[in-house]
Amino acid sequence: MMISPESYYEEYLKGKTREQIMTTIRGLKQEIGRLKNTMEDPEYGIKEIVHPSEDTRLHWTREYLERARQAYAEADGTYTLSKSEQKAADFDANIDAICKITFSIGGFFGGYRSYVVELTNGLKAYTKLWEDEDPLVLLNDNKEPFIKDTIIAVLKELHIGEWRRHYTAKRFGYIVLDGTQWELEFEYSNGHKTVRFDGDNSYPYNFNKFQRLFGINYAEEDDEYKWL
């Protein structure tokens, strides 16, 4: 059972010094990193997931971290972003200027399929397999077409700015030949440098949620992308 941010404040932050609050902030950041690593392990999900799940705990730990930062500011502290936090903040600051998203996934034997979303002059989405293009309709959970604002909202919820730039199974001690590779690229209309992410048989903790943006059901793709 997770408690609310205000209950967390009352129990762990109220009346604490700046130094004590900063210690709590460091602990929350470490917990977020640990939860992400757990969910990104290739063996995650093989065993029964306990409740609350890592995904639920990650959500609430983010809320606690935000409340702790607020408490730190209220205690006259000046919070300095780490390099990884700066990258995430930069991604979020420019997210409304994203004009094109290109997501490619596949393998050596099956080829790569690319999902392209152009966010300028309305919204145009299509898939590419080799040189062929097919229209793609992006639908939300209510089966209604996405517009630019709703796509941007989904991207914000996914915290993509926190993703590693490169994911590899070697990080967990696995050596996989061929398998599945993926690339994700964001282009901007405000002159911001293109942002790229990629992976080799390894994925961000919320990659399945990201794929659903393009109508990809990872359960249906299990045979082809067995490492997801």
Of the candidates 71, 56, 62, which has an alpha carbon nearest to the alpha carbon of residue 33?
62
Dihedral angle, C-alpha 107, 108, 113, 115, nearest 10 °: 60
What's the CA gap between 206 and 218, in Å, rounded? Answer: 12
Task: Please tell me the predicted confidence (pLDDT) of residue 190.
Answer: 97
Question: Which residues are CB-neighbours of 71 under 8 A, at least 6 positions away?
Answer: 9, 13, 14, 16, 21
Of the candidates 31, 163, 182, which has an alpha carbon nearest to the alpha carbon of residue 90?
163
Cross-strand pairs, 139: 145
Rg from Cα positions in the chain: 20
Of the candidates 163, 162, 175, 152, which has an alpha carbon nearest to the alpha carbon of residue 94?
152
Of the candidates 105, 133, 122, which has an alpha carbon nearest to the alpha carbon of residue 197?
105
- The predicted-structure confidence for 33-46, as pLDDT tens digits, reads as follows 999 999 999 999 88
Task: Please tell me the predicted confidence (pLDDT) of residue 107.
Answer: 83
Of the candidates 57, 59, 88, which has an alpha carbon nearest to the alpha carbon of residue 159?
88
Instruction: Give me the residue label for tokens 């997501």.
Output: 103
Q: Which tokens belong to 220?
A: 């249906």
DSSP code at position 115 = E
β-strand 132-135 against 124-129: which pairing, if any? antiparallel
Task: Please tell me the predicted confidence (pLDDT) of residue 227.
Answer: 32
| Positions in the chain whose pLDDT score sits under 70 | 108-110, 177, 218-228
What's the CA gap between 136 and 161, in Å, rounded? Answer: 25
Q: What is the pTM of this model?
A: 0.89
Alpha helices for 94-227 (secondary structure H):
148-158, 207-212
- The predicted-structure confidence for 132-181, as pLDDT tens digits, reads as follows 789 998 988 778 888 999 999 999 999 999 999 999 999 999 887 678 99
C-beta separation of 169 from 137 below 8 A: no
Task: Please tell me the predicted confidence (pLDDT) of residue 50.
Answer: 78
Task: Please tell me the predicted confidence (pLDDT) of residue 9.
Answer: 98
Task: Please tell me the predicted confidence (pLDDT) of residue 145.
Answer: 87
Task: Please tell me the predicted confidence (pLDDT) of residue 223.
Answer: 38
What's the CA gap between 33 and 56, in Å, rounded? Answer: 14
What's the CA gap between 197 and 163, in Å, rounded? Answer: 8
